[in-house]
Amino acid sequence: MYKILLLIAFSMFNWIQNIADWLVYDLLQLKASTHFTAALHFIIYDTIKILILLVVVMFFMGIVNSFFPIEKVKNYLSRNKLYGLEYVIASLFGVVTPFCSCSSVPLFIGFVRGGIPLGVTFSFLITSPLVNEIAIGLFIGLFGLKTTLIYVISGVLLGTISGIILQKLNLETHLTPWVKELLANAQKEQELLQLEKPTITQRLSIIFSEILKILKGVLPYVLVGIVIGGFMHGYIPEAFFEEYMAKDNLFAVPIATVLAVPMYANAIGVLPVVQVLVAKGIPLGTAIAFMMGVIGLSLPEAMLLKKVMTLKLIAIFFAVVTLCIIISGYLFNIIL
């Protein structure tokens, strides 16, 4: 079943890629070698992809919420001590979802709306862009099995530990009023569903109505975030940061991590850059910390998250993940 879903996902991404190619190269007749073309292609591709993901996730979570009330999910997770296993499961789910940081945001919104604890949701949000099946395959080819295993384990641990830390900080109060209204509306809908016992057609009508409300709320943030990401993707050269990652620089790992945040790419796109950095003598741990910063944290992601989190929560989220990435980078340099 999972392989079928994965095949559908990749088919959808290829379909979106073909649409973006047709619009940019065939319809507009733009040259592929220019920075503007790269930025525009990225903006079109990511806009279509994220909006489709948002609709699909919201529809799925609407179906789930229609039959499994939010309070039951919360009560189950609060009554049953899973000893941190829920964070591991969320991180592992992130591994098997081939999404970049911005594409993970729709699932984040769906999980929060579905009553999943914030820390568990963060575990998914962190791991999803860092580790996926294609990136693992490329990683094995570029750096070998041992390094790949260490990377995958560290990615899962990064999501798990960061999620636990963020949950302990009790940050639910820093969700935006928009999210709180979503949760309140979801609760009201479920109470109405339990009282009226609507037909499947009526349930679907309610779900699609809620999807439209959510799309209207997040669309400006999605567009602004993607435009920022597109121009960063098209205009910021990866080689610009090489001089700050020198082997003899004790602070190379934190510098590489912080400088990576303005860039925006997925694991597949940035892995060849990591290979070049390592070939030029930059320590593997520093290069991987740079990669984690690029794909795990980004300004476009922060822009999308602004709709669901206050600036304080975004800052805490970025700070915790950045700290964990820096520690991972130093550990990589020691081990490898």
What is the C-alpha radius of gyration for the chain, rounded to an integer number of angstroms?
Answer: 20
Residue 76 has pLDDT above 70, yes or no: no
d(CA 246, CA 261): 18
- The percentage of the chain sitting over the pLDDT mark of 70, rounded to a whole number, equals 68
pLDDT over 90, % of the chain: 1
Residue 283 backbone dihedrals phi, psi, to 5 degrees: -55, 145
**Statement: the pTM of the whole predicted model exceeds 0.85:** no
Asked if residues 120 and 86 have their Cβ atoms less than 8 Å apart, the reply is yes
Q: Which domain holds residue 45?
A: 2-335
Indicate if the pLDDT at residue 26 is higher than 80.
yes
Query: What's the token pair of residue 213?
Result: 């409300």
Q: Please, which residues have CB within 8 angstroms of residue 74's CB and are 6 or more apart in sequence?
A: 115, 117
- Closest listed residue to residue 113, CA positions, set 198, 195, 211, 202: 211
What confidence category does residue 192 fall into, taking pLDDT thresholds of 50, 70 and 90? low
Total domains, the chain: 1
Work out the pLDDT band at 29, boundaries 50, 70, 90. confident
pLDDT beyond 80 at 325: yes
The more confidently predicted of residues 228 and 75 is 228
Where residue 160 falls among pLDDT bands split at 50, 70, 90? very high
Is pLDDT of 195 > 70?
Answer: no
| Whole-number Å distance between alpha carbons of 122 and 305 | 12
The pLDDT score that the predictor gives to residue 253 is: 87
